[in-house]
Amino acid sequence: MLSFPEVNSSADLEQGEMQAAKWTAPDGEILYLRYAYTYPIETAIWEPYLIHRLFTTYWWICFIITGVYIATIYGLRQWMRDRKPFELRWPLVAWNAFLAVFSTVASIRFGEEALYVLLHASERQGICYSIDPAGPAALWAFLFAISKVAELVDTIFIVLRKRPLIFLHWYHHAVVLVYSWHAATELTAAGRYFIFMNYCVHSIMYTYYALVSYGFRVPRRIAAAVTILQTAQMLIGVLLSCRVAYIKFAKPELACQQSVENLAICFFIYLTFAVLFTHYFYQSYIDGEKSRSRTAKEAATKKIE
């Protein structure tokens, strides 16, 4: 459980810094930046103390969910081995469209706070002071953690349709779920940018998936762009984690809303993602293009002969 001294008053703020505050709950303290939403409609249904208590007490359930998920997908693969693939076109279109709309709305609502902080707070404040636990952004952070459970359904569609299931796909879903729930227990400050990036990338990614599943022929360069965006957010995540680590270890007198344990998990996940997504991009769009080009040339040569 993180604990912090009293935050500086507005009189102590340096130029380019926002007003900070400390939120205290029975299960811990959270340093956050004050931001007033233009239309804080989410606060009418948001229960910050209840949700914080639930995550700090039961976050470990994510391991059970992950275990059931992995067992289910491999069990389904075995069950589908001698069966014909399900088409599931319309359920898949509806599912991808739903996630695309959800991610787009979330990008707008959560992004209001994230972009304001990016433009008006100091760089250190943006990665060391969290979102307001009682504000609208906290509800979207909560929905982000919950959405990682919903997104496991993506894999079910892949298995039932007998599409190739690569290690990167299910590994990505499993570890993001675990990290998101662990980060939710302390409302990790740098999560402001992680969540915003992920929502934005997913709004594009699921729109692309919806179009493809509907039957639109989307240019291959669009698929490559989606993978580049996914890889870019992983690399940015590594850089942000390095910056937080520097602050925590080189300047321990400065408060920073992220535990060493959470930072270690973050490093491990983002580094593995950066390697895996880069390898996937190379195999799919660089080495794959070379192979297709060689095949086309060989076919053309045989046709001439």
Residue 8 — very low, low, confident or very high, per pLDDT cuts 50/70/90?
A: low
Residue 182: count of CB within 10 angstroms of its CB: 20
The whole-angstrom separation of Cα 261 and Cα 284 is 34
pLDDT value at position 296? 41
- What does the angle CA 281 – CA 178 – CA 157 come to, to the nearest 5 degrees? 60
Q: Please, what is the average pLDDT of the chain?
A: 88
> Of 52, 120, 169, 172, which is the active-site residue?
172
pLDDT value at position 298? 44
Residue of higher predicted confidence among 123 and 291? 123
Which two tokens mark 203?
Answer: 């709004």
- What does the angle CA 197 – CA 200 – CA 206 come to, to the nearest 5 degrees? 130
Q: Roughly what angle, to the nearest 10 degrees, separates helices 61-80 and 153-160? A: 10
Place of tokens 């990790």: 188
pLDDT value at position 218? 86
Residue 14 — very low, low, confident or very high, per pLDDT cuts 50/70/90?
A: low
pLDDT in tens, 33-85: 999 999 999 999 999 999 999 999 999 999 999 999 999 999 999 999 999 99
pLDDT value at position 301? 38
pLDDT value at position 280? 80
pLDDT value at position 7? 55
Residue of higher predicted confidence among 252 and 112? 112
| Most confident by average pLDDT, 8-17, 145-154, 279-288 | 145-154
Contact between 73 and 170 under an 8 Å Cβ cutoff? The reply is: yes
- Helix, strand, coil shares of the chain, percent, nearest 5, are 70, 5, 25
pLDDT value at position 63? 97
Residue of higher predicted confidence among 299 and 107? 107
pLDDT in tens, 172-199: 999 999 999 999 999 999 999 999 999 9
Residue 17 — very low, low, confident or very high, per pLDDT cuts 50/70/90?
A: confident
pLDDT value at position 146? 97
Active site residue 120: no
Which helix (H) or strand (E) segment holds residue 142: the answer is helix 136-150
Which helix (H) or strand (E) segment holds residue 20: the answer is strand 20-25
Strand partners, 31: 22
pLDDT value at position 127? 95
Of the chain, the percentage scoring pLDDT greater than 90 comes to 68
C-alpha dihedral, 86 to 152 to 199 to 55, nearest 10°: 160
Contact between 262 and 241 under an 8 Å Cβ cutoff? The reply is: no
pLDDT value at position 99? 98
Residue 288 — very low, low, confident or very high, per pLDDT cuts 50/70/90?
A: low
0.85 exceeded by pTM? yes
Residue of higher predicted confidence among 26 and 31? 31
The whole-angstrom separation of Cα 181 and Cα 59 is 6
Q: Tell which residue, 145, 137, 131, has the closest CA to residue 190.
A: 131
Q: Tell which residue, 161, 198, 145, 176, has the closest CA to residue 73.
A: 161
